Chains A and B, each alone.
Chain A
């Protein structure tokens, strides 16, 4: 199952690249692959044992014996949720691209599907070298997707993005090599609390902090999100940033518990700084994508706080918030793209008054905006509450910072809603600007529906056990995480 989820989009990408298909067939193959991938995910969900916190659907073949590298993959409950978020958001992005009619369809959709495959591989990799390979493989399609199909200033945006990311990944590679030599394997399931070296942890943390990004490593963020095509920005901020916080959780916390514990205060401080800074900046931005971009920075900070609260509630909240933010960011960037296509501008000075006569657009924007600002009853409220509860145990000051940021979030989200929908009619908004139409709803509505479903039942994501490894690993970690040892799984996990 896991292998199939990686190979299906990859195979479709290769088919699109190699077979001389016309535009329509390419779109057909791409959409079929997306639907197939979602179906695979649902099938995996059904067959998944939700009461177990062991690795499941683990598969693997040897790669090379020196240092025991293997193509080893498997699923935990939280990785399955993140994969679901990935395939749904990327599916919507592919549909958006079909609707927007991207040039050079064979190259474009092939790259999108390749990116999907690489992202799923990141979420499932159980071997550090494979993780690195998938991590770098994500960069290749992103480089082209932003650099070829992006806006006017795409060259500079791509360059910044690539330089930042590669600088981070080389530090991670150095850390991986040292990890491999110290443990004589690259496997992530080594049945202990993993490495105790702070330097190795920092190598990984640097790569993740840049990719997420966390304050102050966000230099590439706004330009890349502005210049990328809107659906690629949706993927970047919704999905790709989650691979980084996933890495912080899966590798940073679960495989390097000791250094993570030592550096927790620093990391929470980085998270809190990013949260406040991002929220303030989002409030000050003068264009739609800028607002969403900085709100994304803020959310990454919040999720990082949840992870390094080293408290079970915080981790649950962080996982839930990863899924939430992926969906919200996806919807908002796609909506920004739709508005930009209609009005020719994302500048809030020329927007406004779009609610009148456009009820569906207004409904979607308000609904997503409300969920984004964590109105009580929404799934983001559940996520943020859990994170704040988790981080409270590290010091009430952090919770205060988080709460202030949530007020700021309400400010920028309400500002976003009001400048687009209400106020005076903007210069770019003529009467011929249409409401959302059926094809657009076809990819926006499922994302919103997922958000509403999660609002009804956030516990589906937030109450799953999140321990990746066997009892051996869990018991020492139980100390750090202040959980009951009885919560640990009974038998050690079967690592491939």
Chain B
């Protein structure tokens, strides 16, 4: 007798997340069953296969989800918006994994890859989540995986510090999100995003104190995850202290999922209160642009520079979110593609230098290094140009679209702030390029390493080449990518 009617489950829609979740389980098992020296290669191979599998699944999902459908009592949605975000996250994960393999470690190789798969699975799930419960669930799911990933080398204090900081700051963010969700539920009596939107519209709750406070708290929670100023304080410390490939993965994938989710929540549930959140996000965007760029100017550690640069890029993307139009939606999705590649690529190059030196990399450590390692040097140069929004990289088109979206929304002052921020950012991006090619290597910073010359890291180079291909390719293939993003944005009620 079927006492409880189970809802129909669309397994295909959940395939991208499930693939990685399954892989995470398998990897944990193999790290017990397989002999110790094989754990790392087996774990890496299995998880890489999982990333590729979920990338393919997400691509199929995109292809076969022209109409957005709501699944499992509105707890998640099968649509192109989520599928495109999943493509970006799965791709970023696969590349980050390639850069991880050369990392000299590690007692917990199997766990490392399993956690990476689990974190990515949580992000993929979050990209589809459409009620406050599943959103919180997925957010915690990937966050907890990342807290552990940051601190996985427990014998290193910097790692532990990073993990701890991320845990505390991240928990604050999650708490805000949860509290805000509760307030919104209290006001509307539902946790489904679409029903919240309808309730606010029908009952005229746009000015309701619960809704306003709840919305603000939800946005603060997401701002923590997207490292938007002034909720970014954890970012430089965590990016600096974590294993470098993990920093790259966080920079690319966490940011992607945070923005995708933010747009989904705002457009589906809070369209009626747009007059409030556009202003709030505009202020946050300006704060991120100003703080991110100014703070990056005075950093010496390359990972800290990249961390602050990620804060400023969050500001650029938030400009497009605050624009509250379909152009902004596709601007963010387009922006994320080259940005993810540049972020992972830049951290990969830093990781390569780090492995040569056996310590944290400062800007001076790059002196003349571009001539020694031309592929990595040219790669870093392109990623820096891309971050700075120079033509011949997708970063240029991304910024162009973000500015266009803000201009279309009439936010000219934000565009001006963005242009000035871009100018300022040239200083530290070009500073890295200048070190790479225009400076002679100094005595202490020479390539030679404490433990002999480093092993050739072919996988990392492959990842950097792939990132170069995406960074430059997205500049030329704008229309196909914009078409993808436009169809994806069509799934949301802009």
Contacts and interface: CB of A to CB of B under 8 A. Distances in A.
Contacts of A437: none
Contacts of B397: 64
Given A66-B327, A177-B403, A147 B423 contact: no
B434 A65 contact: no
A460 interface: no
A155 interface: yes
Nearest to B400: A177
By secondary structure, the B interface counts as helix
A132 B391 contact: yes
A65 B479 contact: yes
Given A147-B437, A158-B438, A133 B422 contact: no
Contact of A67 (B392, B404, B422, B476): B404
A350 interface: no
A41 B371 CA distance: 35
A311 to B, nearest CB: 35
B438 A148 contact: yes
Contacts of A396: none
B287 interface: no
A64 B479 contact: yes
- A104, A137, A162, A173: residue with the most chain B Cβ atoms closer than 10 Å: A173
A66 B482 contact: yes
A457 interface: no
B280 interface: no
Contacts of B327: 66
A154 B434 CA distance: 12
A99 interface: no
B385 interface: yes
Contacts of B476: 63
B32 interface: no
A364 interface: no
B168 interface: no
Contacts of A144: 437-438
A104 B371 contact: yes
Contacts of A65: 479, 482
Interface in A128-143: 132-133, 136-137, 140
Contact of B407 (A136, A154, A167, A177): A177
A27 to B, nearest CB: 19
B414 to A, nearest CB: 13
A238 to B, nearest CB: 24
Contacts of A177: 400, 403-404, 407
Contacts of A132: 391
Contacts of A104: 371
Given A158-B438, A177-B400, A133 B391 contact: yes
Contacts of B482: 64-66
A67 B401 CA distance: 11
B423 A166 contact: yes
A133 B392 contact: yes
A69 B396 CA distance: 14
A174 interface: yes
Interface in A50-64: 62-64
A64 B478 contact: yes
Contacts of B479: 62-65
B390 interface: yes
Contact of B391 (A64, A136, A155): A136
A147 B391 contact: no
Nearest to A173: B419
Contacts of B396: 133
Interface string B408-428: 000000000001001100100
A245 to B, nearest CB: 22
B430 interface: yes
Contact of A166 (B403, B426, B437, B478): B426
A181 B407 contact: yes
A147 B404 contact: no
A137 B400 contact: no
Given A63-B478, A66-B327, A148 B437 contact: yes
A452 interface: no
Contacts of B438: 144, 147-148, 154-155, 158
A8 interface: no
Nearest to B388: A166
Interface string B157-200: 00000000000000000000000000000000000000000000
Contacts of B385: 140
A69 B478 CA distance: 10
Interface in B15-31: none
B277 to A, nearest CB: 25
A170 interface: yes
Interface in B43-58: none
Contacts of B423: 166-167, 170
Contacts of A63: 476, 478-479
A174 B423 CA distance: 12
Contacts of B422: 170
A276 to B, nearest CB: 33
A114 to B, nearest CB: 10
A147 B478 contact: no
A62 B390 CA distance: 20
A219 to B, nearest CB: 17
A64 B404 CA distance: 14
A162 B390 CA distance: 13
Contacts of A67: 404
A446 B327 CA distance: 53
Given A104-B371, A147-B438, A136 B478 contact: no
Interface string A106-142: 0000000000000000000000000011001100100
Contacts of B390: 136, 140
Given A155-B438, A174-B419, A137 B403 contact: no
B318 to A, nearest CB: 19
Interface in B422-445: 422-423, 426, 430, 434, 437-438
- B371, B391, B403, B430: residue with the most chain A Cβ atoms closer than 10 Å: B391
A66 B404 contact: yes
A404 B257 CA distance: 67
Contacts of B391: 132-133, 136-137
Contacts of A133: 391-392, 396
Contacts of B434: 147, 155
A65 B392 CA distance: 18
A136 B386 CA distance: 13
B430 A162 contact: yes
Nearest to B327: A66
Contacts of A154: 438
Contacts of B430: 162
B419 A170 contact: yes
A162 B392 CA distance: 17
Contacts of A181: 404, 407
A139 to B, nearest CB: 9
A140 B423 CA distance: 16
B424 to A, nearest CB: 11
Interface in A165-214: 166-167, 170, 173-174, 177, 181
Contacts of B371: 104
Nearest to A106: B374
A234 B290 CA distance: 40
Contacts of A62: 479
A173 B388 CA distance: 14
A295 B482 CA distance: 48
B218 to A, nearest CB: 31
11 contacts: A63-B476, A63-B478, A63-B479, A64-B482, A65-B482, A66-B404, A133-B391, A137-B392, A162-B430, A170-B422, A181-B404
Leading 4 A-B pairs by shortest Cβ distance: A133-B391, A64-B478, A147-B438, A136-B391
Given A63-B476, A162-B430, 10 more contacts: A62-B479, A66-B401, A69-B478, A136-B392, A144-B438, A155-B434, A155-B438, A173-B419, A177-B403, A177-B407
Interface of B: 327, 371, 385, 390-392, 396-397, 400-401, 403-404, 407, 419, 422-423, 426, 430, 434, 437-438, 476, 478-479, 482
